[in-house]
Structure 1
Amino acid sequence: MDTSGGAPTQDKLGFRAIWLIVVACAALSMVIAAMASLNTAIPEIAPAIGANSNQVTWLIDGYTLAIAALLLPAGAIGDRYGRREVLVGGLVVFAIGSLLPIWVSNPDQFIAARALTGVGAAFVMPATLSVITAGVPETKRHLAVSIWAGVGGSGGIAGFFVTGVLLEFFSWESIFLTFGISAALTTVLACTIPTSKDSTTHRFDWIGSFTSAAGIGLLVFGLIEAPHRGWLDPLSLLALIGGLVLIGVFWWWQLKNTDPLLDVRLFNNRAFSAGTLSITVQFLVIFGIFLVLLQQLQLVFGYSPLKAAVALLPMVILVMVFSLVGNWLTTKTSLRLILVFGMVAMGVGAIYLGAVHPDDYKTIVVAMLILAVGLGIATAPSTTAIMVNTPTDNQGVGSAVNDTARELGSAIGIAVGGSLLAAGYTQNIAPVAQDAEASMQQLSTQLDAAGQTAQAQEVAAASESIGEHITNTLAEALQVAAQLSPVDPELAARISSGAIDAFEGPMGTSCIALGGVCLAAAIGLAFLTPKQIDDGTAERAAAAEQAKADITE
């Protein structure tokens, strides 16, 4: 491996290695925080730029789509041309994209700026892990990966917290200014760390890059759109099927190509596959839970964005602590035991949250702590299993596999949790919406009979759309109730209580379903996962020999 700036030559974790970990984790936390931050800021941003309900989705997901689609090519570019250089370049693009929303004037420009920020993040994420695994002494690599995984697992909650603090004292523009300045400072710091790259020169796999980017991009697009359009909507189906077909083409091409973007034979390594599956399910569950839990805290409990973020802080602490001990416990016990334990804990936490129908914060804390222990203890060993079983020259691609698993898991979790929540809410809220429409029409009739024609016409016009607003989301229903409260307090109270009741049942269903997925994954991992994190040397050698034989034939 060409280190071009200092490979680890001893087993001590010296200042240079510590500094490298600090800078890489700073960049990672910023990228993860930026992914989650807009969830709490959207209520202020959407009206300010005039975004409709569909555009609101893409204000958040334009960033996610760009990251997911470009991770694999970005990781390969880092391996080929230099991981630090790609990290620095990604941070520059991230900084520019972060600042642009301050000056945009319409939703489409905002979405484009967020997508550009996601492009930068796609180059930053795999580089942060690959510079660590290439630049830290092998005996300390597990500790470094544990720190990285802890930051990655808790970075989303940190994003909620930072956004909540900024919104408490400043306007929404301060969020993007903060990320832009932070990215600029991190860019300077990144120039001080050592670089590394592939020790051999291969042809860059343009076909693999295109098919992976297009396939994953279409798949994520379909997962984002399906909850809103419907899973049988032609556009959703076309995107999902097209994405799966292109991923199949990518897989075929990687088996055929002598210089693949990703040697898919790595998935024959049980530790590599188990780590990838575990990471995917962890983030599927945790982001699905975040989707419903934040709504519970802010809309049902009435927490401000800052208070909701503070309420999630216990998870940050536990995820960080257990990420540090996860790899250590793996060496003392087994990879199989730790991954299965982590999945079971997350599954139990999610099911508990869904089954108890929490009506106070104490109940939620119990579920969060169980979830955090599971996520913390399993995330670092999963990432280590991927990276240890990836060839040294392909650490950027290995990191990209880890990050792609996170992004796909997050997108699936949000899609599944969101679909179950939306379908259940729509069904449950129908009687409330019908009652509201009937009450508004009756009020219109009464006003008209009293000679208040203008007011009667306004109420009649409002009655035509009130049901739709109540049916859309819990947030819209509560807004309708707040607007009606001065006019008809009794109707407002019925809408508010009915909407909350309609939300809580499907919330429980979503959490239980996500917990069920986690427990099913635990069963699968019990059979798939080897006892130890093996370096897979023998398996890779056998795969290389098989590849040569295939080419000869």
Structure 2
Amino acid sequence: MTSPADPAVAGPRIPEAVHRRRWAILGVLMLSLLIVVLDNSILNVAIKTISTPAPTGLGATQSELEWAINAYTLVFAGLLFSAGLLGDRLGRKRVLLGGLAVFGIGSALAASSGSPEQLIAFRALMGLGAAFVMPATLAVLMNVFERDEQPKAIGIWAGGVGLAIAIGPITGGVLLDHFWWGSVFLINVPIVVLALALMLWLVPDSRDPNPGRIDPVGVVLSVVGLVLLVYGIIKGGQLADFTDPKVLSTIGAGLVVLAAFVVFEKRSDHPSIDVTYFKNKVFSAAIAALALVFFALMGVTFFSVFYTQSVRGYSPLQTGLLMLPLAAAQLIFAPRARLVVNRFGNKATTTGGLLLLAATLAAFAALESDTPVWALEVMFFLMGAGMAHVMTPVSVVIMQALPREKAGSASALSNTFRQVGGALGIAVLGSVLSTAYRNGIEDKLGVLPAGARHTAGESIEATLGVAEKLGPQGKALIAPAHDAFLHAMHITALWGAGVAVVGAIVVAVFLPGKPPADEKDEQGRELVTAAE
């Protein structure tokens, strides 16, 4: 046990009553985390069903599906830092309870959506609730564990992400096999109720004695800038033309607003994001690695569902089971990644994880419609292993960069960039996929009326939907649709691999190597201060 006088401990010693139940508290926090991550992992296997015309689905287009995912992630990312500050000011437990309640209400409303537009709006409401849940979980964790136990606790916390990835697709598949598509959102409600009850019983409250002020202007600028940027990217993929004036003007406006956000934050005396943190090269490299991992992963997950269901013909449940090795690797390696860091250092561990992820993503470029299933399973397992050896070490670096009383801010920063990276991954790689697919299928759609040609060329689901309506005549479109999608998937996978390689280069250059043995207890602090 670390003594109160130990300099490794930031802030006052944790009360004994809280310390005794710290592992039970971690379990409740992981349940809250499970809900937030579960939602996206469930949605991954449901996107094909939602794209199916009513009454089976909502008939959502690929761009609407991207927005259904990104409405959640952009609101989530845009509000995370302010949510962390509110937790610091009002109390993490109170904010966590409120966020869970909003998330549960949004889930119930999303389950009853009657159109893609309603689903997008209610997903945004769920993102609002999730923004208050995610930073509070890590902030509470940092305030119930002593510093010497924090890396282990964060490793278990990160393993909870793997658990959610495992449960989500399988649960979603079971629900879709027996109920309507809205059940994948309604399942959140009983979990929310259980988490609220346990939280009221077990979790202590904590707050920052000197909390920061809320920055409404910064929040508005960041959300507007990200929405404009992502809208322009998705619109470019939908039109298969990134030179279209509307696309260029929207992307340009988004970049201008985001630049204004950075300038405003630098001049503000109460910024949403303290940009001075990024002067530290080690801290910036850790944040960048986290963002790039989720950029690649979210984009690849988006297209892999269409590969397994639209091309291979697997059911949602079978798709969920196919993704089980990805989650299993997370569960196995995330809690143990700190042991690899202790032996080889953060630089070697994180660089190796990113290179493994890049190699796995590149392997998607070799997949065909008849590739053995075991090869896909190996790829998913290696992808999960690579992720685990990136997420845990960089999370420790980021969370230990600030004093314990600023844990909400550190958590919000890591999760903001995680969500922004994921949203941009879906937007960019989804647009690459859409553009490549349209270019590959366009010359095969000449038999269709001009009005239907553009819609049919947006995605493989749109083409197959038109083919089904045409009856026997439409069968001629099925093989070209599969070929065009595989070609588009190969291109998109290589883009994802390239992003992971960039991440590996960044951490190899800027993260420090293995610290001396007498500094291991202060590893997190050393990593952050090494470049200052």
Cross-structure match for 1:347: 358
Give 1:220-299 correspondences, 5 Å limit. 220-229=230-239, 230-299=241-310
Aligned counterpart for 1:31 among listed residues 28, 33, 36: 36
4+ aligned runs moved over 6 Å, structure 1: none
Cross-structure match for 2:318: 307
Q: Which whole-Å deviations, capped at 9, do the CAs of 1:133-174 have from their partners, x for residues lacking one?
A: 222121111011112222235534532222111111122232
Task: Determine the C-alpha separation between the residues in 2 that align with 1:56 and 1:369.
Answer: 26
Higher relative contact order (CA 8 A, sep 6+): 2
2:443 pairs with 1:431: yes
Q: Tell me the C-alpha RMSD between the 2 structures.
A: 2.8
Number of aligned residue pairs: give it. 507
| Alignment CA distance shift 1:286-1:52 (3 Å) | closer
Distance apart, 1:178 and its partner CA: 1.4
> 2:334·2:388 contact (CA, 8 Å) conserved in 1?
yes
Give 1:448-527 correspondences, 5 Å limit. 463-464=449-450, 467-485=453-471, 487-488=472-473, 492=475, 494-527=476-509
Sequence identity, in percent? 30
Cross-structure match for 1:16: 21
SS at match of 1:390: coil
- Bigger shift: residues 122-131 or 109-118: 109-118
Task: Determine the C-alpha separation between the residues in 2 that align with 1:58 and 1:524.
Answer: 30
SS at match of 1:199: coil
Aligned counterpart for 1:181 among listed residues 175, 180, 190: 190
Task: Determine the C-alpha separation between the residues in 1 that align with 2:409 and 2:68.
Answer: 28
Distance apart, 1:280 and its partner CA: 0.6
> 1:425·1:502 contact (CA, 8 Å) conserved in 2?
yes
SS at match of 1:535: helix
Distance apart, 1:341 and its partner CA: 0.5
- Bigger shift: residues 226-235 or 423-432: 226-235
Letter matched to residue 431 of structure 1: D
> 1:271·1:389 contact (CA, 8 Å) conserved in 2?
no
Structure of higher CA gyration radius = 1
Letter matched to residue 160 of structure 1: P
2:125 pairs with 1:116: yes
Task: Determine the C-alpha separation between the residues in 1 that align with 2:131 and 2:78.
Answer: 8
Letter matched to residue 295 of structure 1: F
Task: Determine the C-alpha separation between the residues in 2 that align with 1:317 and 1:356.
Answer: 22
Aligned counterpart for 2:340 among listed residues 324, 329, 343: 329
Letter matched to residue 198 of structure 1: D
2:144 pairs with 1:143: no
| Alignment CA distance shift 1:63-1:233 (3 Å) | farther
TM-score by length of 1: 0.84
Distance apart, 1:52 and its partner CA: 5.1
| Alignment CA distance shift 1:518-1:240 (3 Å) | same
Cross-structure match for 1:167: 176
> 1:205·1:259 contact (CA, 8 Å) conserved in 2?
yes
> 1:297·1:303 contact (CA, 8 Å) conserved in 2?
yes
- Bigger shift: residues 29-38 or 107-116: 107-116
2:384 pairs with 1:372: yes
Task: Determine the C-alpha separation between the residues in 1 that align with 2:93 and 2:13.
Answer: 13
> 2:18·2:144 contact (CA, 8 Å) conserved in 1?
no
Distance apart, 1:234 and its partner CA: 4.5
Distance apart, 1:306 and its partner CA: 0.6
| Alignment CA distance shift 1:208-1:433 (3 Å) | closer
Distance apart, 1:526 and its partner CA: 0.9
Distance apart, 1:239 and its partner CA: 4.1
Cross-structure match for 1:547: none
Aligned counterpart for 1:88 among listed residues 65, 80, 97: 97
Q: Which whole-Å deviations, capped at 9, do the CAs of 1:446-474 have from their partners, x for residues lacking one?
A: xxxxxxxxxxxxxxxx6555544542211
| Alignment CA distance shift 1:424-1:224 (3 Å) | closer
- Bigger shift: residues 205-214 or 347-356: 205-214
> 2:225·2:255 contact (CA, 8 Å) conserved in 1?
yes
Task: Determine the C-alpha separation between the residues in 1 that align with 2:140 and 2:223.
Answer: 23
> 1:90·1:124 contact (CA, 8 Å) conserved in 2?
yes
2:213 pairs with 1:208: no
Letter matched to residue 512 of structure 1: L
Unaligned 5+ runs, structure 1: 1-5, 438-461, 544-553
Cross-structure match for 1:535: 525
Task: Determine the C-alpha separation between the residues in 2 that align with 1:223 and 1:113.
Answer: 22
Distance apart, 1:202 and its partner CA: 4.2
Q: Which whole-Å deviations, capped at 9, do the CAs of 1:91-123 have from their partners, x for residues lacking one?
A: 011111111234444443333222111110111
> 1:270·1:530 contact (CA, 8 Å) conserved in 2?
no
Cross-structure match for 1:396: 408
TM-score by length of 2: 0.87
Distance apart, 1:415 and its partner CA: 2.1
Distance apart, 1:13 and its partner CA: 10
- Bigger shift: residues 308-317 or 507-516: 507-516
Cross-structure match for 1:455: none
Letter matched to residue 280 of structure 2: N
Task: Determine the C-alpha separation between the residues in 2 that align with 1:289 and 1:219.
Answer: 20
Q: Which whole-Å deviations, capped at 9, do the CAs of 1:48-90 have from their partners, x for residues lacking one?
A: 4755535444333322222122111111111222111111110
Task: Determine the C-alpha separation between the residues in 2 that align with 1:56 and 1:260.
Answer: 33
Distance apart, 1:512 and its partner CA: 1.4
- Bigger shift: residues 339-348 or 468-477: 468-477
Task: Determine the C-alpha separation between the residues in 1 that align with 2:449 and 2:212.
Answer: 66
| Alignment CA distance shift 1:360-1:157 (3 Å) | same
